[in-house]
Amino acid sequence: MIEHDKKINLLFVNWLTITLFLIFIMIIVGGLTRLTGSGLSITEWELFKGILPPLSNSSWEKYFNLYKEIPQFKLLNSNMSLEEFKVIFYWEYFHRVLGRVIGLFFLLPFLYFFILNKIDKKFFKPCLTVLFLILLQGFVGWYMVKSGLVNNVSVSHYRLSLHLSLALIIISIIFWLILNIKRNSFKSFFQITKHSLPVFLIILLIFSQIILGAFVSGLDAGKIYQTWPLMDQSYIPGDLEIKHTYDLFDFNNHSLVQFYHRNLAYVITLCITILGMLIFINKAQKLYQPLFYVFLFISFQVFLGIFTLTSGLNMYLASAHQICSVLLVFSSINLYYFYIK
């Protein structure tokens, strides 16, 4: 019986781990879909019909003609050929297919474990939450795409950040579950104490920074100032005018969004450095290894951010920057886990 439970437990962990990996790939593909300008190539939400790509010339012409009707084609890609359209189509198509695969891969084993009553009660609600959020993510993805089909050449940066935020919440819940199951414990993520509060706040700052990064991407705000450390030979760019308090919250302002993104990176790096110093001063040896990975990924992330900007937004560097942000989330959550008793 014990051996059987171990096998079920291993299956459960493997299921969550593969789901986590698939969502990680999904985030990478989503980022590349955005970077290649492919996100609006499929203008209809075909949940079942769109499982297969176009298989005939007439089908390709149909999708291409639908794309020709939206502002992105008319204002940016009016000279695009059918062969060029196929490239951006397949990026978005693969992104959507991967979303379907993730949904089914999570749903079917969940039902299997649920029917056999093999989901531990303390893990049932988090798993059910993940299932709901994965289903919700599909609708949010289409809600995001719709924002770029009528009056705009790209999707709303607010909806883009919502889409990415949901993905981060999903992978965070799954990663937290894996940490607990592998270490045979159940620590609540919101079991916040004076001891764990600083790391919890750093995680919130990292989440906020990634959302700001989505704003920068959605607005193409990285194209304005591509020098570092100064913006237009100044710490505060000349076109950034704050006349009223509410101007500080104008997240449609390209310069302001990039300014916030840069400076929050400095704040996070400083906070992690101070935290590291405190860990070494207190000789908390069990935290050395998880801290090392946080330092590793924040260092890579800062350098990738700088090189992405100064390279003129090189697509591969931008993708690596996004990948590293997810790894930073994982490493900071892992560190936080060790802080909770």
Distance between CA atoms of 277 and 180, rounded to whole angstroms? 27
User: Which is it for the CA torsion 299, 304, 305, 311, positive or negative?
Assistant: positive
What pLDDT, on the 0 to 100 scale, is given for residue 324? 97
What pLDDT, on the 0 to 100 scale, is given for residue 235? 94
Mean pLDDT of 246-265: 94
Three-state SS at 210: helix
- Radius of gyration (C-alpha) of the chain in whole angstroms: 22
* CB neighbours of residue 310 within 10 Å: 13
Q: Between 4 and 311, name the one with better pLDDT.
A: 311
Q: Between 340 and 180, name the one with better pLDDT.
A: 180
pLDDT digits (tens, 9 = 90+) for 96-138: 999 999 999 999 999 999 998 888 888 999 999 999 999 999 9
Distance between CA atoms of 295 and 291, rounded to whole angstroms? 6
- Residue 14 carries which side chain, given as an amino acid letter? N
pLDDT greater than 80 at residue 1: no
pLDDT digits (tens, 9 = 90+) for 23-52: 999 999 999 999 999 999 999 887 777 788
How sure is the predictor about 275, in pLDDT bands with cuts at 50, 70 and 90? very high
Distance between CA atoms of 299 and 124, rounded to whole angstroms? 36
What pLDDT, on the 0 to 100 scale, is given for residue 5? 60
What residues does each domain of the chain span? 1-186, 188-341
Distance between CA atoms of 46 and 42, rounded to whole angstroms? 9
Of the candidates 48, 51, 44, 96, the residue with the CA atom closest to the CA atom of residue 65: 44
pLDDT digits (tens, 9 = 90+) for 186-239: 888 998 888 899 999 999 999 999 999 999 999 999 999 999 999 989 999 988
Distance between CA atoms of 287 and 85, rounded to whole angstroms? 50
What pLDDT, on the 0 to 100 scale, is given for residue 49? 76
Mean pLDDT of 154-170: 95
Beta strands in 127-208 (DSSP E): none
